[in-house]
Amino acid sequence: MNSERIKVIISKVRAKDTVLDVGCDHGYTSILLKKNKLCKQVYASEISANALEYAKANFKKNHVHIKTFLSDGFKDIPVFFDTAIIAGMGTNTILNILNDVKAPHKIIIASNNNYYLLRKSLNAMGYKIITEEAVWENNHYYVILLCIKEYQRLTEKELLYGISNNDDYYQYQLDMRKKIIPQVPFSKKWQLLKECRDLKRLIERK
Ligand SMILES: C[S@@+](CC[C@H](N)C(=O)[O-])C[C@H]1O[C@@H](n2cnc3c(N)ncnc32)[C@H](O)[C@@H]1O
């Protein structure tokens, strides 16, 4: 349960929130919210019956009572919630879950991939990214987004590199691009070189 990523996720929750932890798996996020009384109510859901049983066993072990639901995204959630945590999934799965009338006002998202598509689609779906935090864990950066239903159109650069304002994360993105430049076809090199220049500027801006 000692995950920096989960700590950042739960730091976005407020006392007034009624939270649905979508794809709870091990259930640690829900357990931390409940044990530390960080929100008004927490529910946990899973698409996988096995994962849900795993979460229930962990709830029992940790002496917390959390109502659970077997559900694909929001489809079979019969209770009210105003905040959803959707973490540890790919962008396409997250976007499929959000493409539902039950999608709440506030969402906390931690995708595993394709952040450009995620940011762009969130804006198109009517969500504003209020904060973005990049957390280094298990040799990987996880980007955690706090969003509310409000108009926003990020610029192309903000969509590409994010709005974390974290120079270490920008440097990481720069290093990743530099690494693949020799392997990509000539037609794609110029775009990567342009992105490297943008990232250098972001890092040197202060
Ligand atoms: C890697 S785990 C992430 C667990 C936890 N949320 C975290 O961030 O540490 C992803 C979980 O999402 C669940 N999942 C995938 N698609 C889902 C969907 N459409 N609705 C609900 N849960 C889903 C999977 O069954 C899996 O247990």
- The response to whether residue 23 sits with its C-beta less than 6 Å from ligand 1 reads yes
Q: How far is CA 61 from CA 64, 194, 196, in A?
A: 8, 52, 48
The predicted pLDDT at position 155 comes to: 98
- Identify the CA nearest to 129 among candidates 141, 137, 111: 111
Calpha distance 206→188 (Å, rounded): 30
Q: What is the pTM of this model?
A: 0.96
**What pLDDT shows up at residue 126?**
98
- Nearest CA residue ID for atom 11, ligand 1: 23
Nearest to 78 by CA among 69, 87, 86: 69
29 within 8 A of 21, measured Cβ to Cβ? yes
Catalogue the long-range contacts made by 48-55 (C-beta closer than 8 Å, 24 or more residues apart).
51/23, 51/24, 51/25, 52/24, 54/25, 54/26, 54/27, 55/24, 55/25, 55/26, 55/27, 55/30
Report the pLDDT averaged over residues 112-131.
97
- Tokens (6 digits) for 177: 């691009």
Q: pLDDT value at position 2?
A: 81
Please name the residue whose Cα sits nearest to atom 14 of ligand 1.
Answer: 23
- Mean pLDDT score of the chain: 97
Which residue's CA is minimally distant from atom 25 of ligand 1? 48
Nearest CA to 23 among 50, 4, 5?
A: 50
* pLDDT value at residue 159: 98
Summarised one tens digit per residue, pLDDT across range 171-197 is 999 999 999 999 999 999 999 999 999
Q: Is the CB of 104 under 6 A from ligand 1?
A: no
Q: Which of 88, 86, 89 is nearest to 77 (CA)?
A: 86
Distance 43 CA to ligand 1 centre (A): 14
- CA–CA separation, 137 and 29 (whole Å): 16
**Whether residue 47 has its Cβ less than 6 Å from ligand 1:** yes
Provide the H-helix boundaries in 64-155: 91-98, 115-124
- Asked whether residue 23 carries a pLDDT value surpassing 80, the answer given is yes
